[in-house]
Copies of this chain bind each other. A is one copy, B any other.
Amino acid sequence: MMHEGRKRIIIENVKPEIDCGHFPVKRVVGEKVLVEADILTDGHDSVSARLLYKEEEEMNWKEIPMKFMENDRWRAEFIVKKIGIYYYTLEGWVDHFRTWQKGIKKKFDADQEIKFDLLIGIQQIEEGSKRASGRDKRKLMEFSNLLKEADIEKALSVALDEELTELMDKYPDRRFATSYGRDLAALVDREKALFSTWYECFPRSCSPEPGKHGTFKDCERLLPEIERMGFDILYLPPIHPIGKANRKGKNNLPQANLDDIGSPWAIGGEEGGHKAIHPKLGSFEDFERLVNKAKGYGIDIAIDLAFQCSPNHPYVKEHPEWFRWRPDGTVQYAENPPKKYEDVLPLNFETDNRQELWEELKSIVVFWIEKGVRIFRVDNPHTKPFSFWEWLIKEIKGKYPDIIFLSEAFTRPKVMYNLAKLGFTQSYTYFTWRNTKKEFTGYLTELTQTEVGEYFRPNFWPNTPDILPEHLQFGGRPAFMMRLVLAATLSSSYGIYGPAFELCVSEALPGKEEYMNSEKYEIKEWDLEQPGNLRDFIARVNKIRKENPALQMTRNLKFYEVDNEYLLFYGKSTEDLSNIIFVVLNLDPYHTQSGWVRVPINELGIDPTQPYLVHDLLSEDKYIWHGERNYIELNPQILPAHILRVKKRLKRETDFDYFM
């Protein structure tokens, strides 16, 4: 087959583009999509190119002229304004008019004859006028006439006239334009997908009466304090009936006592399964009232999607074919040899009755959406097929585009990244186990400066009910403060499992990263007023996040130099540099550390000859800094970090009050 050989443009190496366009990039409302591509043609002719984009349901593409950068690289950007899917693609063509302009200018400068070249230009303008109409058409004809009548000097200035160039750009000859050939997608979420502050707590421990099983009503009472601390998502572990068969005892003992209440992740009992509520938590009415009350505080209630069943789950009887059965006639519980999870049955996604299973699981999500839930924390998504999640999330977001899914996958990196690619809105990360400067810079650079940042939105958790990391076991209160500042400033989304976090609970099972007397297996009585609690500190950090847009993004993170291995120095700023935040943090919870930072003053447009003010938003201290090198000293017993807002010197001469 012979090509349409007159399409002379090549468009390649388009960014962003995930896996040949198979997956969308992710954005939230108001963010931009900056598109770059190599666009080239044979020979010396000029190229013009446009970025085309549209919302999913729109018929027509909007067009933005692309700008040439260097080395055949072109660039343009658009802002996404609505939740849903946007498409974008590229088009390029050989621009004979611009080629002509370039040539005639060079010939004129070299004192060459341009008489006949002018005739070629006139012909092009007249062809252009045929593509135009109304005023533009008339205007182009005027230019053509001007060119015919003008002397050489004058003709050249007409040929290069800006208005003429704009008009010809408006009506280009695109008969032989090359389309990129793939429509790339951007999935646009609401802002909370990027900027969110999670608080996880067990409603059953929320009762004010010691030992009593908490209820949704008890949770309501806590909302003002959760709001005051600055959280906007309250995530509840599974709220469903809990199985009795093989129920685990305290500290995950294989045998439960009669009064043990079981892990909420062993979902399903005679009271029902994933569409039921644990009777001791309350009614559907109670749940919906909690959701609505929370909304009044700007808080979303997130629930847990844990697609697994206790042996007592109604599905086991109704759909035995959704489970695996052992040769002895017993149902297969979850195991990762030699570990056994006898209170939990995995679903068999390879069942022949797969379609019914998938639809049922989808109906669970829809069920809770209809009860007012817009955010789901998904338990262990990496133990269910990728294709299931891709289907489920697409189905749900097609109808409810504002839903947020958080992937709780602590597993191999490529598995975690794939879950994000196929649709999860946010993802758990390895933050919990990153400790040294090298680990933070390496991991955060991967998350924020590579293609990963286009689809993987990190959500940083210093602790979870499953994980009490070593540094929190031994680092004391300074370690909790340090991990909070890290999570809250490195990532625009983070969360804590409370009240264990704000009370600095550090007792672990010996030699393990698990809580002693874990709340997963028993009701806890928390003394929220306990001295040394971090509630005010957390409130302050979250207030700083709310007031500083630079901290509401993650991919703007940059690491800077500081000459002490225990100090970490990084910054975030808005694109217009109206908000610049530096964080300097002492990674050593035991000792005071000091050093000299190197402030990127050129990058941030700070005048090297003038002092500038940095305002520590944590301590309210203010420092006058000068030039690149400035001294830092952090005593972890007082505050393990500075969160500094940079105030660049104003241009007015008399702003002495600026340093006050």
Mark A residues whose CB is within 8 Å of B.
2-8, 10, 12, 19-20, 38, 40, 42-44, 71-72, 102-104, 106-107, 109-110, 112, 116, 119-120, 123, 176, 326-328, 330, 335-338, 340, 349-350, 354-355, 358, 382-388, 390-391, 412-415, 418
Contacts and interface: CB of A to CB of B under 8 A. Distances in A.
A38 B349 contact: no
A40 B110 contact: no
A542 to B, nearest CB: 35
9 contacts: A3-B390, A5-B387, A8-B385, A42-B383, A44-B336, A103-B337, A106-B338, A112-B337, A112-B338
A3 B355 CA distance: 9
Nearest to A419: B42
A5 B414 contact: no
Contacts of A102: 337
A282 to B, nearest CB: 34
Contact of A5 (B12, B354, B383): B354
A44 B337 CA distance: 10
Contacts of A119: 326-328
A5 B388 contact: yes
Contacts of A413: 71
- Smallest CB-CB A-B distances: 4 pairs: A110-B338, A119-B327, A106-B337, A20-B20
Contacts of A40: 412, 414-415, 418
Identical chains bound together, number: 2
Nearest to A340: B112
A391 B355 contact: no
Given A43-B384, A44-B336, 6 more contacts: A5-B354, A6-B354, A8-B385, A43-B382, A72-B414, A119-B326
Nearest to A388: B5
Given A2-B391, A6-B354, A414-B38, A337 B107 contact: yes
Contact of A337 (B10, B38, B110): B110
A90 to B, nearest CB: 15
A326 B391 contact: no
B3 A391 contact: yes
A338 B383 contact: no
A8 B71 CA distance: 42
A71 B5 contact: no
Contact of A412 (B72, B106, B107, B110): B72
